Structure 1
Amino acid sequence: MTWEPRPVPEVNPETSCYWQAAASGELLVQECTDCGLVYHYPRSLCPDCFSEHVEWRESSGRGEVYSYSTARTMSGWPEDDLPLIVAYVALDEGPRIMTNIDTDPEDVAIGTRVEVRFVDTADEDVSIPVFVPTDA
Structure 2
Amino acid sequence: MHANSYVAPTMEEKPVESSIRSKLLQALHPVHLEVHNESSLHAVPKGSETHFKVVIASQRFAGMPLLQRHRLVNEILQAELAGPVHAISIQAKTPQQWEENPNVSRSPACLGGSKHDPHMGQAGRPCF
TM-score, normalising length from structure 1? 0.28
TM-score, L = length of structure 2: 0.29
Structure with the largest fraction of helix: 2
